[in-house]
Amino acid sequence: MKMWRTLLIIAAVTILFANCDKAGYADPEWKVGDWVSYQVSGGSLEAYTLRYAITGIDTLGGEAYYWLEMIGSSGESRFIYKMLVPYGYRGVAERMIIKVGSQPALAMPDFEGLNEEPPGENRPYLYLAAEIDSAKIGVEKLSVPAGDFKAIHAKIKGPKGRENEIWVSSEVPIFGIVALNTTTEKMKLTDKGTDAKTAITEEPQKIDPTIFE
């Protein structure tokens, strides 16, 4: 009897921990004010920082769309992409405003291919929990500049079909990413918070769409 009781306890504990690992990561909720910053290295550029922030929310066609801002900076150089996108930015950007350095902010016209911006490896992209679970390698303790995290480690294909190595945690807002290794770059979380404000306060200038014809 004692042996069966012990086996039942071991089985219950095993199931409990297995379920905890499986439920340890959920799709991040996007909340206005959330922000994360990353240190990016590798590739053809010098090391730089990336900051993602949710700075507003609008309703289009009865669905929530978010103002997602991507800010890149290296020394005195700085660029901003401000994008009105669906959750996860797995669809089309409905609006986009770009600001480079001290130049005026520009409102991009609605044209085919807008959803492909920003270009390059760092186009914001949310890996869903189901995708992470199917590509999961294990659970690891990971140290990054922002601190220590218990993160799920996975190898998963990115938006361009390339396999990326990723570590995610429910403690990290917006994309859940603690660290990300692509074929050319490495990203590590440096900080996070809940007090983000828009980085573009001026009225953006409208671009004549005929220049793209």
Output the pLDDT for position 125. 81
Q: Average pLDDT in the 173-189 region?
A: 93
Output the pLDDT for position 207. 77
Residue 66 is which amino acid? Y
| Dihedral (Cα; 44, 45, 51, 57), 10-degree rounding | -60
Output the pLDDT for position 163. 86
- Burial environment of residue 13 by CB neighbours within 10 A (0 to 12, 13 to 18, 19 or more): exposed
Q: Average pLDDT in the 4-24 region?
A: 43
Does pLDDT of 175 surpass 70? yes
Strand partners, 181: 165, 186
Q: Average pLDDT in the 156-164 region?
A: 80
Contacts for 206 with CB less than 8 Å, ≥ 6 apart: 106, 107, 109
Helix spans in 72-112 (H):
none
Output the pLDDT for position 61. 87
Task: Record the pTM.
Answer: 0.82
- Report the distance separating Cα 155 and Cα 182, nearest Å: 10
Over the stretch 113-125, which tens digit does the pLDDT of each residue have? 555 566 555 567 8
- Report the distance separating Cα 137 and Cα 175, nearest Å: 19
- Report the distance separating Cα 69 and Cα 49, nearest Å: 14
Output the pLDDT for position 108. 84
Domain boundary assignment for the chain: 35-206
Output the pLDDT for position 19. 43
Q: Are 133 and 22 in contact (CB under 8 A)?
A: yes
Output the pLDDT for position 42. 82
Q: Mean pLDDT in the chain?
A: 83
Q: Are 68 and 91 in contact (CB under 8 A)?
A: no
Does pLDDT of 195 surpass 80? yes
**Quick check: helix, strand or coil at residue 59?**
strand
Q: Are 8 and 152 in contact (CB under 8 A)?
A: no
Output the pLDDT for position 76. 84
If you write DSSP's letter for every residue of 138-201 in order, what string do you get? EEEEEEETTEEEEEEEEEEE-TTS-EEEEEE-TTS-TT-EEEEE-SSEEEEEEEEES----S--
Q: Average pLDDT in the 82-111 region?
A: 87
Q: Average pLDDT in the 26-31 region?
A: 95
How many CA within 13 A on the CB side of residue 149? 24
* 140 or 10: which leads in pLDDT: 140
Q: Which residues of 18-32 are buried (b: 16+ CB within 10 A; e: fewer)?
A: eeeeeebbebbebee
Does pLDDT of 16 surpass 60? no
Output the pLDDT for position 2. 45
